[in-house]
Amino acid sequence: MSIYFTRTFQRSFGTYPLRGEACRQAIETALATGYRAFDTAQMYENEAEVGESLANGSVKRDELCITTKVGIHNFSDERFLPSVEQSLRDLRVDFVDVLLLHWAPADGNIAPSLGLLQKARELGLARHIGVSNYTAGMMRQARSIVDAPLVTNQVEFHPFLNQDILLAAANETGIPLSSYCSVARGKVFEQPLFAEIGQAYGKTAGQIVLRWILQKGVPLNTMSTKPENIRSNFDIMDFTLSSIDMARIDAQTQKNLRIVGRDLIPWAPEWD
């Protein structure tokens, strides 16, 4: 079973684009709320703040799940492992719980970086490995390249984007998805449906959206700077959406709104 499927690690606290004091404060609130899984990346340039905040917090290292991601600028043979060692120094840990490849390289040749990722695991720099922003085809290819389990493909996942092809690939390959942009960077709050559904459960629009993602079988990454949002995003384990409400939300995926597209990330793949 993927590390992200344990009850606590299903709800991971994302740290992009937090830096400095804002990052430290958000992590302090997230730890006090009960978050034990934290998501960062070399590209976020905040691993040092994340490491400092977690080291200064009162939660023991072995109760935490720390995920970081190797940026594509570090995918060469010379840079990959030294960059992971630098991440560990910044994060103040001997290993990360999960090490992801942040993106596939622009030329789509995923084998070399997957080989280096596996090497990092063999060297004990990461307990688990996975990928991010892989297409269904890349997930199938990765499965045939890597011997170790890939514990996630972290992808954009929210009610305004249909990811059925990736969900089917997750089933087929055994590489589970996990979410980012879970509340579509706030866009879900422009749609009254979620608050309307929430009235029946005594839950907020955000909690309905996050619960829908979890019930699709997808562990979460959420980020907020506001204590009330950090707490409410965590408080989603005491109710279950009915199949009727799940279907009402499923219908929203036809909007096909992609937030992290080629306009933001020029090396993004041709999505499914």
Q: Which of 257, 214, 258, 253 is nearest to 233 (CA)?
A: 214
- Of the candidates 44, 134, 180, 201, the residue annotated as catalytic is 44
Q: Which residues bind ligand NAP (CB under 6 A)?
A: 14-16, 39, 102, 132-133, 154, 180-186, 189, 206, 221-226, 229, 232-233, 260
Instruction: Report d(CA 43, CA 29) in Å as an integer.
Output: 23
CA triple 78-84-90, angle to 5 deg: 130
Q: How far is the CB of 68 from ligand NAP (least distance, A)?
A: 10
Report the residue number, 185 or 244, with the smaller CB distance to ligand NAP. Answer: 185
Report the residue number, 12 or 141, with the smaller CB distance to ligand NAP. Answer: 12
Instruction: Report d(CA 219, CA 180) in Å as an integer.
Output: 10
Report the residue number, 24 or 102, with the smaller CB distance to ligand NAP. Answer: 102
Q: How far is the CB of 235 from ligand NAP (least distance, A)?
A: 10
CA 166, 167, 171, 176 torsion: positive or negative?
Answer: positive
Q: How far is the CB of 128 from ligand NAP (least distance, A)?
A: 16
Report the residue number, 148 or 268, with the smaller CB distance to ligand NAP. Answer: 268
Backbone angles phi, psi at 255, to 5 degrees: -60, -30
Residue number of the CB closest to ligand NAP reads 14
Q: How far is the CB of 56 from ligand NAP (least distance, A)?
A: 20
Q: How far is the CB of 41 from ligand NAP (least distance, A)?
A: 7
**Residues 6+ positions from 251 with CB-CB distance below 8 Å:** none
Q: What do you get for the CA distance between the two ends of the chain, in Å?
A: 26
The DSSP letter of residue 95 is: S
Instruction: Report d(CA 30, CA 147) in Å as an integer.
Output: 34
Find out whether the peptide bond into 17 is cis, omega within 30 degrees of 0. yes
Backbone angles phi, psi at 221, to 5 degrees: -120, 125
Is residue 44 annotated as a catalytic residue, yes or no? yes
Report the residue number, 116 or 269, with the smaller CB distance to ligand NAP. Answer: 269
The helix (H) or strand (E) run that includes residue 247 is helix 243-250
Looking up tokens 């060469």 gives 76
**How many CB atoms within 10 Å of residue 2?**
20
73 annotated ligand-binding residue: no
| Binding-site residue set | 102
| Binding-site residue set for substrate | 102
Active-site positions read: 44
